[in-house]
Structure 1
Amino acid sequence: MNIFHDFAGKIKSVLNDIDIFRENGAGADLSRITVEAPRDPAHGDVSTNVAMLLGKPLGMNPRDFANLVVEKLQADPDIADVSVAGPGFINIRLAPIYWQKLLNAMVSAGESFGRSDLGKGRKVNVEYVSANPTGPMHVGHCRGAVVGDTLANLLAFTGHDVTKEYYINDAGSQIDVLARSVYLRYREALGDKIGEIPSGLYPGDYLVPVGKALADEYGSKLRAMPEDQWMPIVKEKAIAAMMAMIREDLAALNVHHDVFFSERTLHDGNGDLILSAINDLTYKGHVYKGKLPPPKGQVPEDWEDREQTLFRSTDVGDDIDRPLMKSDGSFTYFAADVAYFKNKYDRGFNDMIYVLGQDHGGYVKRLEAVAKAVSGGAVHLTVLLCQLVKLYRDGEPVKMSKRSGDFVTLRDVVDEVGRDPVRFMMIYRKNSEPLDFDFAKVTEHSKDNPVFYVQYAHARCESIYRQAHEVYPELDLANLPFDDRIASLIDDPAELQLVAKLAEYPRIIEAAAVSQEPHRVAYYLYDLAGVFHGHWNKGKENTGLRFVNDKNRELTVARLGLVRAVASVLKSGLGITGTAAPDEMR
């Protein structure tokens, strides 16, 4: 039901009816033949480069070869007009009967229209959010969460075997800082005067209930312990509390991961998994002992002017070699990243996607180098960087959150405007572009608010069903008596334009999946809503175009089928974005 796939097949089929191709075209590369929508809709519905691709190899002028293809295509009843343009492009305008047959197929497919086996079950790991478990997630995490979750939904819709994963950074110095911050709140809950939160600790009020819970469970016992005894206890409780809060915040955003992977598990048993990963790289010739020059700019805390165990990452595309073990034998942070990648690789993932904040741009080359070294190039790795989100209210910047202490939390945003506006608007710009989010704009009931405009289109479809039920109460709206004959009643140019817009959906879905650009789905839904609202408005001026005709039951059924196709695509696309398709909006 992808018209571009369909016509690619038709074009390749007619080639065998052309003498010169049949005689001299053996072995021709047909994979580069493209069938796509012309840039200018006035040129037709589909366009192909077949003549430009094959003309010269066959010893013909591309336009002359194009004319041979056109002659064969003119016999196809699905084609209303076909012509040659420019140096040899072939433009095709489809006949109404084609759109009508396609509409029948759309109605039959329902919300499965656009679904494909493009991925052929290929295993994909999409890791996103992965915020440090040291506090509530901020609005920057929000964008990464929505981009990652929508992309995962999109890949699953196109036949990939997708795992949504969250990497818990629960090892390292930031967890020690968290534990000390919670311990301070624990003392506060016992009645100690703690004063101003010391610099370097987390000041947010979100740690107050964690400290109180410790006081309720342990009383003053922890206060009597030395730090090396209370620290592991407080760490466990603090991490558990933070992850519970993060899971709740993600659930409020309709984000649910399949796997929560703990970094600490990589360090279990004296770091056996990390050591195994280093040994694997050593066996493959990617590890050596040496010294690194100091990096330009700020020197990282794990840099040493001594001989270390190094990853020869420059051999696999990185800018510099990376330390894996310090001179004292302890592992670097990067060593854990290597072990984590190897763990994913050992779990059988063919593709790995990391969705990170724009401040992680320096990680891209090193992760790509790890992928090449560990998998020998077998794994396709992609890093998507999400640019900053700026929050406004009626054009004025939004102030910080009291709950977090120094930033606006994800939950603040969701609680104020709702899940759907947040999710839809977070992907209404390409992830690599900055995003301005205005609390007032995303709650407007207007065309200028994309999420409202799209959801209202679905609600309008449902209202048409309710109107039809009033006029034809005996009509089974769940099982419309729809077939090619009924579909043939859809013949108004505006109706066929709406069918043509619906027909773009499978191509949009596949293109968004291949390019890993989920914003394309949001853009398409907005455009589809515009065409649908525009046609509905025409019915206000011309009663003959209204979806429900109280004097013609069959025409009403035909138009309800068109509405069903619109509603199905809207619901399908909104489902991919993780946004609801409401039946009513007031």
Structure 2
Amino acid sequence: MNLFTDIRALVIDSLAAMQAEGALPEGLDFANVAVEPPRDAAHGDMATNAAMVLAKPAKAKPREIAEALAGRLADDDRIEIAEVAGPGFINLRLAPAVWQGVIDLVLADGAGFGRSAMGRGEKVNVEYVSANPTGPLHVGHTRGAVFGDALASLLDYAGYDVTREYYINDGGAQVDVLARSVYLRYLEAHGESVAFEDGTYPGEYLITVGEALAAEVGTAYVDQPEDVWLAEVRAYATDKMMGLIRDDLKALGVEMDVFFSEKSLYGTGRIEAAIEALRARGLIYVGVLEPPKGKTPEDWEPREQTLFKSTEHGDDVDRPIMKSDGAWTYFAPDIAYHYDKIERGFDQLIDVFGADHGGYVKRMKAAVAALSDARVPLDIKLTQLVKLYKNGEPFKMSKRAGTFVTLRDVVEQVGPDVTRFVMLTRKNDAPLDFDFDKVLEQSRDNPVFYVQYAHARVCSVLRKAAEAGIAVDDLTLAAADLSRLDHEAELSVAKKLAEWPRLVEIAARTHEPHRVAFYLYELASEFHALWNRGNDTPALRFVQEDDPALSQSKIALARAVAVVISAGLGILGVTPVQEMR
């Protein structure tokens, strides 16, 4: 149930009736007619722009359309007041029974309240994290993991068929560096002194991997040339690192449906098939690129390369897919990987990249548009950097990792729930400051605490009522007389609850799960405000011990708040708490 959609349907029906009576011309497009919360709550509960968007095509003054439309809308029992404002906007105030009915719907639908069929079962692939399997996940990966996982849950909640996917970057030179690093730890396990040079990874997390390898193969690789052990150690190390990454993700509450190996694309004809698919569309050619814009690198020289004509699909320049020596560029397997997604039948693709991949967006979108004949949209979401602070100072790098703060460092400091919520308190493309002290504060300024506290307060109300002998099971609360909830503070909470289904659809449509976190904070604020008013006005307290029926009506509202908070936290991957400790 989306109350805003219901009222928009009323507006559309009223406009159609005006057409039937000749007050509006036929053939008008109502697609841009909207019903939304007004910018200023003092103006009403909802507002519609119908007269403004229809005035020009109807060849009429917007205020004249608005006045006629407002009169029709006011005839509906749900509309208490319909008034024209400014040049032709219509502000609507709904009858209290409408908002009281929202509480009833929340209790009737339970966790299903706000779920949408908007996605119509469309298959969506959300690829996120996809870190190189060369070490533990760092704090940047943490933000991408939380964002991608919450987005996947949001889309599922909105009716999409979602696949969570991790692309294992195990086909490039970095896994050779990993193998050499593990080999050094392997030698170290055999008592040799080693030095980490040439970009090898010095992190302590590889000590146990080297020791495990030594236990498994003994001295078989000691004093052996690289060609003897590189391939085997690379496979062994990659497997161990992916085990570590899976454990990191599990600690954060992230579980993938698919782990796709880049290496599986090589030597199997899959890269060649993707490039041939582009060639068949006339998009592969041999040519020479123009020099880079700006200062030309000293080592740049014009040379023939095999190029993808990505400019035909919105890119700035065409992109090399094969080097002059015949080797594939790093872009070629990525093209093949996305071609595989298209061939698997996904209707939408979403990639979650770090901020340093901004220059990769247009070329990847061009490839998917070309390979799918523009049928499959690709949305690439970039997650900006996270700055960590503790005791007022930047949080130092992890000794385990050697060069960066790991996901485990963050989760061990504050727990997965706090980590996940805080990572969603900013839009994905905005920088985020993560202060370990502030995220554990018990104050309104800490959104994690504030939302969890609202849920815990509802639970305390239920316990107190039960102790007073008042029945507060969901079946009893659903039968409560909600017409007794007529105070503006109570109706204000109900109005915020009514926004939840609309918020879900907007957040899913825009791929912005942070909207859920923002909404939960606003709902918690309304609930806490009602609670605090009860301190001064006893009639607003949830438990009225001398009137069990009234208590049940008020507790029904509180229970509805808990239902929606629990649903929203579920999308974010956060567990609602029963009490604050």
Q: TM-score range by the shorter chain?
A: over 0.9
Match of 1:524 among 491, 494, 519: 519
Residues 66, 21 of structure 1: alpha-carbon distance in 2 compared, 3 angstrom cutoff? farther
Query: Distance between the aligned counterparts of 1:575 and 1:268, measured in 2?
Result: 42
Q: Which residue number in structure 2 is paired with residue 412 of structure 1?
A: 409
Amino acid at match of 2:29: D
Q: Secondary structure at the residue paired with 2:17?
A: coil
Query: Distance between the aligned counterparts of 1:319 and 1:65, measured in 2?
Result: 46
Residues 302, 560 of structure 1: alpha-carbon distance in 2 compared, 3 angstrom cutoff? farther
Amino acid at match of 2:502: R
Superposed displacement of residue 302, structure 1: 12
1:192-212 deviations in whole A, cap 9, x for unaligned?
Answer: 111x32241001000000000
Q: Which residue number in structure 2 is paired with residue 145 of structure 1?
A: 145
Q: Secondary structure at the residue paired with 1:17?
A: helix
Match of 2:287 among 287, 290, 297: 290
Task: Answer yes or no: is the 8 Å Cα contact 1:482–1:557 preserved in 2.
Answer: no
Amino acid at match of 2:184: L
Q: Secondary structure at the residue paired with 1:537?
A: helix
1:479 aligns with 2:478: no
Q: Which residue number in structure 2 is paired with residue 375 of structure 1?
A: 372
Residues 326, 500 of structure 1: alpha-carbon distance in 2 compared, 3 angstrom cutoff? same
1:326 aligns with 2:328: no
Task: Answer yes or no: is the 8 Å Cα contact 2:477–2:556 preserved in 1.
Answer: no
Query: Distance between the aligned counterparts of 1:51 and 1:254, measured in 2?
Result: 48
Amino acid at match of 2:404: F
Query: Distance between the aligned counterparts of 2:451 and 2:53, measured in 1?
Result: 40
Q: Secondary structure at the residue paired with 2:445?
A: coil
Q: How does 1:198-217 map to 2 (within 5 A)?
A: 198-217=197-216
Q: Secondary structure at the residue paired with 1:448?
A: coil
Task: Answer yes or no: is the 8 Å Cα contact 2:28–2:58 preserved in 1.
Answer: no
Task: Answer yes or no: is the 8 Å Cα contact 1:185–1:212 preserved in 2.
Answer: yes
Q: Which residue number in structure 2 is paired with residue 37 of structure 1?
A: 37
Q: Which residue number in structure 1 is paired with residue 182 of structure 2?
A: 182
Residues 17, 321 of structure 1: alpha-carbon distance in 2 compared, 3 angstrom cutoff? closer
Query: Distance between the aligned counterparts of 2:390 and 2:221, measured in 1?
Result: 45
Query: Distance between the aligned counterparts of 1:174 and 1:263, measured in 2?
Result: 13
Query: Distance between the aligned counterparts of 2:202 and 2:306, measured in 1?
Result: 38
Query: Distance between the aligned counterparts of 2:169 and 2:109, measured in 1?
Result: 43
Task: Answer yes or no: is the 8 Å Cα contact 2:462–2:472 preserved in 1.
Answer: no
Q: Which residue number in structure 2 is paired with residue 444 of structure 1?
A: 441
Residues 493, 463 of structure 1: alpha-carbon distance in 2 compared, 3 angstrom cutoff? same
Amino acid at match of 2:534: G
Superposed displacement of residue 231, structure 1: 0.9
Task: Answer yes or no: is the 8 Å Cα contact 2:444–2:450 preserved in 1.
Answer: yes
TM score, norm. by length of structure 2 = 0.97
Residues 72, 257 of structure 1: alpha-carbon distance in 2 compared, 3 angstrom cutoff? same
Q: Secondary structure at the residue paired with 1:529?
A: helix
Superposed displacement of residue 58, structure 1: 3.2
Residues 481, 455 of structure 1: alpha-carbon distance in 2 compared, 3 angstrom cutoff? closer
Residues 534, 417 of structure 1: alpha-carbon distance in 2 compared, 3 angstrom cutoff? same
Q: Which residue number in structure 2 is paired with residue 568 of structure 1?
A: 563
Superposed displacement of residue 585, structure 1: 1.3
Query: Distance between the aligned counterparts of 1:328 and 1:564, measured in 2?
Result: 67
Query: Distance between the aligned counterparts of 1:414 and 1:101, measured in 2?
Result: 41
Residues 295, 59 of structure 1: alpha-carbon distance in 2 compared, 3 angstrom cutoff? closer
1:396 aligns with 2:393: yes
Q: Which residue number in structure 1 is paired with residue 220 of structure 2?
A: 221
Amino acid at match of 2:264: T
Residues 325, 546 of structure 1: alpha-carbon distance in 2 compared, 3 angstrom cutoff? same
Task: Answer yes or no: is the 8 Å Cα contact 1:204–1:403 preserved in 2.
Answer: yes
1:66-89 deviations in whole A, cap 9, x for unaligned?
Answer: 111111122212111110011111
TM score, norm. by length of structure 1 = 0.96
Q: Secondary structure at the residue paired with 2:117?
A: coil
Q: Which residue number in structure 1 is paired with residue 574 of structure 2?
A: 579
Q: Which residue number in structure 2 is paired with residue 234 of structure 1?
A: 233
Residues 481, 412 of structure 1: alpha-carbon distance in 2 compared, 3 angstrom cutoff? closer
1:269-309 deviations in whole A, cap 9, x for unaligned?
Answer: 3xx00000111100010001122344357999998853222
Superposed displacement of residue 399, structure 1: 1.2
1:465 aligns with 2:462: yes
Q: Which residue number in structure 2 is paired with residue 247 of structure 1?
A: 246
Query: Distance between the aligned counterparts of 1:146 and 1:303, measured in 2?
Result: 40
Q: Secondary structure at the residue paired with 1:390?
A: strand
Q: Which residue number in structure 2 is paired with residue 351 of structure 1?
A: 348
Residues 317, 19 of structure 1: alpha-carbon distance in 2 compared, 3 angstrom cutoff? closer
Amino acid at match of 2:575: A
Count of aligned pairs between the two proteins: 581
Amino acid at match of 1:67: E
Task: Answer yes or no: is the 8 Å Cα contact 2:142–2:407 preserved in 1.
Answer: yes
Percent identical residues: 54
1:50 aligns with 2:47: no
Residues 298, 404 of structure 1: alpha-carbon distance in 2 compared, 3 angstrom cutoff? farther
Amino acid at match of 1:97: A
Q: How does 1:79-98 map to 2 (within 5 A)?
A: 79-98=79-98
CA RMSD, aligned part only? 1.8
Q: Which residue number in structure 2 is paired with residue 265 of structure 1?
A: 264
1:415-443 deviations in whole A, cap 9, x for unaligned?
Answer: 01111111011110111111111010011
Query: Distance between the aligned counterparts of 1:243 and 1:213, measured in 2?
Result: 15
Q: Which residue number in structure 2 is paired with residue 552 of structure 1?
A: 547
Query: Distance between the aligned counterparts of 2:296 and 2:146, measured in 1?
Result: 34
Query: Distance between the aligned counterparts of 1:171 and 1:300, measured in 2?
Result: 28
Residues 425, 302 of structure 1: alpha-carbon distance in 2 compared, 3 angstrom cutoff? farther
Query: Distance between the aligned counterparts of 1:15 and 1:259, measured in 2?
Result: 49
1:100-153 deviations in whole A, cap 9, x for unaligned?
Answer: 122211211112111101111111111111000000111011111111111111
Query: Distance between the aligned counterparts of 1:314 and 1:44, measured in 2?
Result: 49
Q: Secondary structure at the residue paired with 1:456?
A: helix
